[in-house]
Structures are given as C-alpha cells and as structure tokens.
Chains A and B, each alone.
Chain A
C-alpha cells in the first residue's frame, strides 16, 4: 500500500521515475527531484515548529518538545547543506530577469535576485561557522545580515506582486467601462443599466478577490510571499509573533511551493 501511495505522489510531483531504462541498476538513483524534496523537508520543519509550540501551550511532556526541537534543528542544518550552491542559481535568475520587457517587474525581480544571492552568501558563511571551519566569526552579526537580505528580497517580490495586481485591477475597470459604454445602444434595458452603475461602486475587496481568482499563479505567489514575511519580521523585531504563527505561515508557504513544483503552470512567470 505504501509504495502505491508513494507512486501516486511521485506522479503528482512529476518526478521522472519512469527513467529511460528500467533495467539500469546504476547509481543514477532517482530520488525525489531536489527542489521538491527541499520543500517537503521545509514543510516538515515548520510543522515541527508549530507542533512544538502547541505542545508547549498544552504543557506536554518535555521529552517530546526536546525531540521535536532536535529534529527541527537537524532538518534545518541538512537543508543548509543542500543550499550551498544556490547563490549561483540566484545570479543566473538575476541575469534572466534583467531581460524582462516591463520596467517595474524587471527592476523588482532583478533586485530581489541580487539580494537573494547576498542572502545565500551569508547563509554559506553561517554554515561554515556551524560546521566549525570558520570559528572566529560573529554568528549574530551574519545572521542579522542574512535576515535583512531575506526581508528586502521578499519586499521586492511583494512590490512586483502589488504592481501586477494593480495592473489587473486597472484592466478589469477598463473592461467594465467598455461594457458600460456599449450599453447605451440598448435603451430597452433601463434596469440593466442601473445594475451596471451599481456594480461600479462595488467594494474593493470582492473585486480584488474576483481578479485574483482568475489568476491563480499571482494569488499563490502573493500568499507565499506574505507567509514568508512572518519569520524575518519576527527576527528583526518589527512585528513580534510566537513560533506557532511562524510555523503555520512557514507550513502554508511550503505547501504552496510544493503545489507550484507539482503543477508548473501555477508558477508566476
């Protein structure tokens, strides 16, 4: 039963377990695709954080909390190890986004990728410290810089999302106006014209919701960025929350990330 569940999960995640030759026994052992595995482990890490906070509130046994904390720490360090080459990814992504046609997304995304590259450099230094290869650096200073870089790159991403949302709302408003302009030709439907004018003074939120529903990639990306923002806001002291909220937000953003990897058409370009 378990391999079947795993098979369906792999199919869902578009893992190429249907390799070219089923009879090969070489060590091109196709485990889960690396970014997908990373997202799973991230989800598990934040779930541990949430669970630890819940257990603390209920005054559960200390052993369980300690075990969860140790598990979370080991997952975090393992993920840090596998993040080692990612500054190159960020530089390549910056090179790609600098060629975007629109001005605002181009600036925002390129800045975001460059700041993310700085974040990965700080992350590498922190890993070297945790392993013991650079014992004489100030961990809190580098961690502070890493958190700031992460925070600014998230802000850049959110700026781009807000720009896209405002553009879509403008488009929706223009479409409404065009529809309204076509109606005066039809003098019989007076009450229909009234309905149209009523719709124009619609509250902002439902309109926003309708617009976002039509564009799921944008909705997912905005949700992910907003959820990711909770952790640096807490660390930098701008908006202090508890580990439970951070765990919940982190779990939600990881699930969105897994969904984006599973269905590539849901990824915002």
Chain B
C-alpha cells in the first residue's frame, strides 16, 4: 500500500503551492535562449521552477552576506554585484550586474581582503 503524502513534495513541498514560478514563462525563456532551441520536454520547466527557487535563494543569501558585512539593512544592486563577482559559478552574470553606471570593479569587501 502506498504511503500518505504522495503529493506532499510536489503539491505543497512544505511551501505555498505546486510550482512557485510560472512554467509557461520558463518555457518561453528557455526557447529564447537560442534560435536552435526547438523543443522542450514537459518536465524541463518543472526542474527549472525548483532550480530557480534554489538559485534565487543562493543569490539572495550571498548578497545579504555582503550587505551585512557593509553594515546595511537594505539589499542593493551593488551587494548582488559583489556576490556575483565573488562567486566563480556566477561568472556568467558578471556582465549583467555591471553597467555603465558602475564600471566593473572589485567590491570594497574584496579589496579589504586583498589589502590585509
């Protein structure tokens, strides 16, 4: 006999709803990632819906750590930028977080580490 809670991980997952992020939107973004992305399986957006949650959580955690080191209570874009610069696997975001207003530069946090 099957156990109770078959739906638990998927439906509520201990959280608010089946999927926190809209699958159709994910699929749209996947298809736009290249001209040659033709077909996407039904499950791929579902994996991404959870992966994006994990990604947002990780990025937020790292950014907040930077903000705390700077003794701030508000998370700003430069905290996110510093977190991106400090994390190897987030290299693909480097161009995104730097723009003409904030030329690519080591964050003060990292500079302190280098000096000491």
- Does B bind A? no
* Residues of A near any B CB (own CB < 8 A): none
* Residues of B near any A CB (own CB < 8 A): none
